[in-house]
Structure 1
Amino acid sequence: MKFEVKTLAAGAAGEIELNDAVFGLEPRADILHRVVTWQLEKRRGTARGTRERADVARSGKKLGRQKGGGTARHGDRRAPVFIGGGKAHGARVRDFNPSLNKKVRALGLKMALSAKAKDGGLIIIDTLDVDGGKTKALANQFAALGIASKALVIDGEALNLSFAHASSNLKGVNLLPAIGANVYDILNHDTLVLTRAAVEKLEARFHG
């Protein structure tokens, strides 16, 4: 399908032919949910396991007589009440590393891109050059493009330094290279801005 290409100054820069196999799919909530869940699970850190009573290397001999000692009735020094004893109800090592088929992950990214193209949240920019890397200039250009909320900007193989400097102080604007494009970030932003180079990289990623 053909899609209009704009400049940062909101001018026309021609058209681009988007691959329907990447930008023209019908989004499925179940696929998107599976991929987003997988991404968030992959971000979770694994807790360091603590040593519980059975893991502490101490003698299991009873400390003293059950009665007549004038102190509490203890078993052995591995009890949690002693310094160096095992932790009571300590943290357990849990695995937050689920697996997801590569084809499902690729399909999820295609559907996320298609969802933005379908609901009008996609803008394609010719280049990201900002004169002098000035934040104020970029803010005015975004206002002219109608970008007023959270926006994810995806560039080609390398990030445009002038745009990176200008956008660093703009709240809600995030910049990624094409290799970093992912379902969660795309869906978590109201507007997706792609450069021509980003479109080429993304299409080559699936049909290289």
Structure 2
Amino acid sequence: MKIKVQTLDAAEKGDIELNDEIFAVEPRADILHRVVTWQLEKRRGTARGTRERSDVARTGKKFGRQKGGGTARHGDRRAPIFIGGGKAHGARVRDFNPSLNKKIRALGLKMALSSHAKAGSLVIMDSLAVAENKTKTLVGNLEKLNFGKTLVIDGDMVDNSFALAAGNLHKVNVMPAVGANVYDILKHDTLVLTRAAVEKLEARFNG
């Protein structure tokens, strides 16, 4: 699969051959849904469970006589209304750490990349260097390229000048190739990969 390589100035820089096993996989909604659901559930924190009346260490002896004491008919001191008693309807420990087969996760990432390639919203950049790290310069470049909400993936590290220039742009998100994931790729209108990112992603699947 061949795709044109561009620069931030909207100039062409030749072609690049993409691996069809990574960028030309037919997307399946069920696989993408499973991976996104797994990813979002992995983000959720597990609440610390509170101690309820069966968990606190207090006497189980009845508080007083059933009648004639002049007080309410309490059972034991573990009741929630007493200091040191158990919490009523407290937080329970819930497990949000599901498992998903590595092959399914890898297939989901391939399908997410392929969905952008199929829709024509995959862009390969030769370099991300921005002159003088200026946000104004980058905004002008993005207007020429007519990008919407964009995810930019670089190689080992994101180009420093681009990261500084894009820091205040809420429609542009950047990450290194190691952080590429299905959820972030799918929620952006445009996916931008550098040559280094393509090499890293292909090595990730082949390694």
2:31 is aligned to 31
1:47 aligns with 2:47: yes
1:178 aligns with 2:177: yes
Residue 122 of structure 2 aligns with an amino acid whose one-letter code is: L
2:190 is aligned to 191
Task: Show CA shifts across 1:82-109 (max 9, x none).
Answer: 1110011111111111000000000000
Task: Show CA shifts across 1:65-95 (max 9, x none).
Answer: 1111111110111001111100111111111
- Describe the SS at the equivalent of 2:93: coil
Residue 51 of structure 1 aligns with an amino acid whose one-letter code is: R
Residue 126 of structure 1 aligns with an amino acid whose one-letter code is: D
In the TM superposition, what is the alpha-carbon distance from 1:139 to its structure 2 partner?
0.5
1:57 is aligned to 57
1:157 aligns with 2:147: no
In the TM superposition, what is the alpha-carbon distance from 1:207 to its structure 2 partner?
1.1
1:166 is aligned to 165
2:109 is aligned to 109
Percent of aligned pairs with the same residue? 74
In the TM superposition, what is the alpha-carbon distance from 1:121 to its structure 2 partner?
1.3
1:139 is aligned to 139
Residue 167 of structure 1 aligns with an amino acid whose one-letter code is: A
- Describe the SS at the equivalent of 1:15: strand
Counterparts of 2:83 and 2:188, CA distance in 1: 50
- Describe the SS at the equivalent of 1:176: strand
Residue 131 of structure 2 aligns with an amino acid whose one-letter code is: D
Unaligned runs of 5+ in 1: none
**TM-score, length basis structure 1:** 0.98
1:11 aligns with 2:15: no
**How big is the alpha-carbon RMSD for the aligned residues of Structure 1 and Structure 2?**
0.6
- Describe the SS at the equivalent of 2:54: helix
Task: Show CA shifts across 1:150-170 (max 9, x none).
Answer: 110000011100000000011
- Describe the SS at the equivalent of 1:69: coil
Counterparts of 1:121 and 1:93, CA distance in 2: 42
Runs of 4+ in 1 over 6 A off after TM superposition: none
**TM-score, length basis structure 2:** 0.99
Unaligned runs of 5+ in 2: none
